[in-house]
Amino acid sequence: MLLGQEYLYTPGPTPIPDRVKHAMNQPMIGHRGSKFPVLLEDVANRLKPIFGSENPVTILSASGTGALETAAANTIGENDDIVVIVSGSFGERFATICEAFGANVHRLEIEWGKSCKPEQLEDFLKSLNKKITAVIATYCETSTAVLHPIKELGEVTKRVADALFIVDGVSCIGAVPVNMKEWNIDILVTGSQKAMMLPPGLAFVAVNDYAKEHIKKHSSNRFYLDLNRYFSSYDKEKSTPYTPAISLIYGAQEVCKMIEEEGFEQVIERHQLLMNMTREGVKAIGLDLLTSDEDASPTVTAVVPKNSTSGAITKMLREQYSVTLGGGQHKLKGQIFRIGHMGYCTPFEVLKVLNALEMTIYKLEGQDVLGLATKKAQEVWINHV
C-alpha cells in the first residue's frame, strides 16, 4: 500500500481536514496576552449553534471522558440519587463516573442495540419514587450505534422528575440537530475527536443558566474540572483558569468556519445521507444491521456479520486495504464491527469503505458481492434530494 495512505473509519478519532491542520500550525500565543481572549470568545460563541446553546460553550483540555467527569463533578454529590440510561458501554461509563462521586446510581438498563423509549424512562422514574438530582442520557451510544430520542427524554425528565438533564453528545454533536432550551437539556458535553473534525484533546461543555446556578451552589471537592473557575475566568478576561490547548482551539475556530460555510443544516443532512448510504450498502451484501432504521445514528453504523467473524473482517480490511473500522465493545465484542461516518466524511468516503468491504467479503467468503454495496449506495446518493 502507498505509504501514509490510511483510511480511518473508526467512530473516533476521525480524519482531520487539511484546513484545520493548517489552522493548528499557527505560531503559539500566550493565554494571558491580548490575542487569546479574542480567539476564545470567537470560538465559544461560534460553537453555540452547534450545541443549540444560549450560552458560550466552555472549553477544557481533556478527552470526552473528561467532559463527562466535568458534568458529574460539578453537579453530583455523595448519596444523590441519579438516573443513568445505560444502553451500551458509554452509558455504563457515565454511571461508573457518578458512582465515583458517591452517588446512588439507578441504571435504567436498555437492551443493547435499542433506543430508550420515553415511556421506559417515565415508568422507571415513577417506580423509583425518589428525589432524583439528575437524569443522564447518551445522545449517540457509540458502542451500539443507536441515537436516543433526547428531546422526548428531556420532556419526561422535567415533567416527571424535575431533575437536571445531562447529555453525553460525544459521538454526534456537530452532526445532529440539538436545541438545549427546547429539549430541556441543562448540560451537553462532547469531545473534539469525533464529529468535530479535530484531534483528541478538547472537551466541550455547554451549560444553561439553570445548571450554572446549581453548579455555583454545588459543594463537592473538585479543582481542575471546577466549572466555576472556567466561568469566572471567561467572564472576567475571556480566558481559561489554566493553560488551554491553544493549537486545538485554533483548530476549533477553523471547524466552526467550515461548518458555517457548508451550513449547519447541510452538515446534518450530509450525515443523514452518509448513514443511509452505509446502511443500504451493507444490507445489499447480505450483512445485518444491529439497529433499526428508527434508532440508527447518522454518525456510526454497527454491522452484524453473518458468515465471517467481525475480527476476520476488520483484520483483512486493516491489513490489506489500510481501512480501519471499530470493533464491538464489551458484550458486543466479536459480534459486530462499526463504521464511523462522521465529521470530515463525504459520500465518496462511504463508497470507499463499502468497496473495501465488498472485496473483503468476496475474499473471505467466496461470494461475488463485488459492486453490490457500492451500487446501492450510489443509488441512494443519486436519489437523495
Ligand X SMILES: *Cc1c(COP(=O)(O)O)cnc(C)c1O
Under the rule (CB under 6 A), what is the footprint of ligand X? 12, 63-65, 68, 90, 138, 142, 168, 170-171, 191, 200
For residues 43 and 203, which CB has a smaller minimum distance to ligand X in the complex?
203
Query: Smallest distance, Å, CB 71 to ligand X?
Result: 11
**Nearer to ligand X (CB atom), residue 83 or residue 356:** 83
Least Cβ distance, residue 171 to ligand X (angstroms)? 3
Which is nearest to 36 in space by CA: 248, 183, 207?
Answer: 248
Q: Please, what is the minimum distance in Å from the beta carbon of residue 255 to ligand X?
A: 16
Reduced DSSP (H G I as helix, E B as strand, rest coil) percent helix, strand, coil of the chain, to 5? 45, 15, 40
Residue with smaller CB distance to ligand X, 141 or 155: 141
Q: Which is nearer to ligand X, 85 or 267 (CB)?
A: 85
Residue 67: what residue type?
A: A
CB-based contact 279:293 (threshold 8 Å):
yes
Indicate the residue whose CB is closest to ligand X: 64
- Residue 101: CB minimum distance to ligand X, A: 17
Nearer to ligand X, 300 or 373 (CB): 300
C-alpha cell at 260: 458555517
> Between 74 and 239, whose beta carbon lies closer to ligand X?
74
Calculate the CA dihedral of residues 49, 248, 212, 175 and round it to 10 degrees.
30
Residues 6+ apart with CB under 8 A from 179: 52, 151
Q: How far is the CB of 94 from ligand X (least distance, A)?
A: 7
* Minimum distance of ligand X from residue 276's CB (angstroms): 21
Q: One-letter amino acid identity for 218? A: H
Q: What is the per-residue burial (b if ≥16 Cβ within 10 Å, else e) of 271-289? A: bebbbbbbbbbbebbebeb
For residues 170 and 64, the answer to whether their CB atoms sit within 8 Å is yes
Q: Minimum CB separation from ligand X for residue 91, in Å? A: 8
What's the order of all strands across the beta sheet hosting 323-327? 7-9, 323-327, 337-340, 300-304, 288-289
Distance of closest approach, residue 338 Cβ to ligand X, in angstroms: 11
Q: Write out the H or E segment, with its range, that includes residue 79.
A: none
The CB density around residue 222, as the number of other CB atoms within 10 Å, is 17
Q: Are 56 and 233 in contact (CB under 8 A)?
A: no
Looking at the Cβ atoms of 170 and 282, the one nearer to ligand X is 170
Q: Which residue number, 141 or 280, has a Cβ lying nearer to ligand X?
A: 141
DSSP 3-state of 58:
strand
